[in-house]
Amino acid sequence: MEQDLENEQAQLVRLYADVATVQVGDRMVECTIRGRLFRDDPPAVGDFVQIEQVGEGWAIKGILPRKSVLARRAAGPSHRKQVLIANIDQVIVVFSATLPALTLPTLDRFLVVVEANELLARIVINKMDLASRDAITALLQPYVDAGYPLHFTSAETGEGLDELRAGLAGKESVLVGPSGVGKSSLLNSLYPELNLDLKVGRLSDAYGKGRHTTVGGFLIRLPDGARVADTAGLREVGLWLVPPDELPYCFPEFEPYLGKCQFNNCAHLTEPGCAVRAALDMGEIYPSRYESYTKLRAEATESWPRW
């Protein structure tokens, strides 16, 4: 019986320092992580893992290949990638229409990190009960034109929640965004059953405490096949570094022009014959988005020593 657990699909759903909770079918199994097995690349929330019985307990002995990761690349000499969530399908970038104010340069930062990880982004503007829809719609036009799915929601009134739930169903998602925009409120309003379900009950415990630990994280499995992940490390995702040369590819609307500049190492800043700047002059790229690009490029160049 116990041996059977070793052959079933097992997913890491909660992590505290070197202890992981692994979900195997309906069972939650506490597993230790032996550091020496995973020195450079430890298991992350969302990983499918192999587990083995060690004495009375269980341990993770291997990680199955990941289909995707959301990883942080630290500043410093190594620039090693630290995987915070594995196997996610999409990143839900949550902002509020107001309180705190909608700051587009910060939204651009979050989107760049999602793109750098080659993940899909979905934009959610919450607290729409407090704002004028017309004004917010106009502000978000550059993102709709760039192809990002956009949701207007209110965790308070329920506006837009059915549509967002449909966008989450059957997928593994992670919510990111500044604090106070309503990420927790949205999850509660989207899935009121979260606190009732026994299995999720354990996780909602993690939801209360895990939020504030620096190393923890967890994954909630929902009845409609949705999985929603959260780790404290994702909070400041907007401040992660992206290598300067990768940055142009993190703005989807630049894509048609890349490779068409006079110089093939064009940074799209002041070089002559730049196709990106030509598109900007023609009104095909929004000035606010280009401005974010130049700002992030300057930051990245400064903090990214040459390899």
The binder of 127, among ligand GDP, Zn ion, none, by C-beta within 5 to 8 A per type, is ligand GDP
Closest distance to Zn ion from the beta carbon of 275 (Å): 6
The binder of 182, among ligand GDP, Zn ion, none, by C-beta within 5 to 8 A per type, is ligand GDP
Please identify, among the stretches 85-93, 196-204, 232-240, 262-270, the one whose residues bind Zn ion according to the rule CB under 5 A.
Answer: 262-270
The contact mask relative to ligand GDP for 180-219 (x = CB under 6 A, - = no) is: xxxxxx----------------------------------
Q: Which of 69, 276, 280, 285 binds Zn ion (CB under 5 A)?
A: 276
Closest distance to Zn ion from the beta carbon of 261 (Å): 3
83 binds Zn ion per the rule CB under 5 A = no
The contact mask relative to ligand GDP for 122-161 (x = CB under 6 A, - = no) is: ----xx-xx-----------------------xxx-----
**Token pair for 293:** 């690009």
Residues that bind ligand GDP in the complex, under the rule CB under 6 A: 126-127, 129-130, 154-156, 179-185
